[in-house]
Amino acid sequence: MSDINTVQKEIIDEFSILGDDRESTIFYIMELGDKLPDFPDAEKVDENIIKGCQSKVWLTTRTEGDRVLFLADSNTDITKGLISLLIRVLSGRRAEEILQADLYFIEKIGMGNIIGSQRSNGLAAMITQMKRYALAYQSKMNAS
């Protein structure tokens, strides 16, 4: 598995091909969301909703050994694409890697200009929730 910065560079390269074509970029983000694994309907409950997102975003997590795995879904295509990017970068990492991750790809691809302030706030809420899960796992592992 590539490290976090390598994955971020791959994403930056993919988005650079699209240039400044906002419509193509949004379409690409929505395509990325389509590639997320199916999210179980039974997990679409209030306690899995990320607070602070205008759209509904459900996020669950589990561990495999010392790795944190994320699964998510959203009721809007663009938001589903955004969470898919975060999962691509953060899922399968150790908790400490997630907590220390500098997600610079978001700024490098001009995401704030693409999605606007409401979705930018939601994106920040998604990152915060993923880091909270990582912190909880790290605390749990340190207590063992």
Task: List the chain domain ranges.
Answer: 4-143
Residues with active-site annotation? 53
Which tokens belong to 30? 């929505």
pLDDT, position 20: 83
- Alpha-carbon distance of 119 to 112, in angstroms, equals 8
Task: Give the pLDDT confidence score for residue 123 in this predicted structure.
Answer: 92
Q: Measure the CA angle with vertex 36, ends 4 and 116; round to 5°.
A: 75
Please report how many Cα atoms fall inside a 13 Å half-sphere around the Cα of residue 125, on the Cβ side. Answer: 19
Which secondary structure element, helix H or strand E, spans residue 12, and what is its range?
helix 4-18
For residue 69, list its beta bridge partners.
62
pLDDT tens digits, one per residue of 25-64: 999 999 999 999 999 999 999 999 999 888 999 999 999 9
CA distances, 25 to each of 3, 28, 68 (Å): 24, 5, 29
pLDDT band at 115 (very low <50, low <70, confident <90, very high): confident
Amino acid found at 37: P
Distance CA 48, CA 3 (A): 27
pLDDT for the residue numbered 19: 86
Write down how long the chain is.
144
Q: Which CATH code fits 4-143?
A: 3.90.1010.10
From CA 26, how far away is CA 5, in angstroms rounded?
A: 23
pTM of this prediction exceeds 0.85: yes
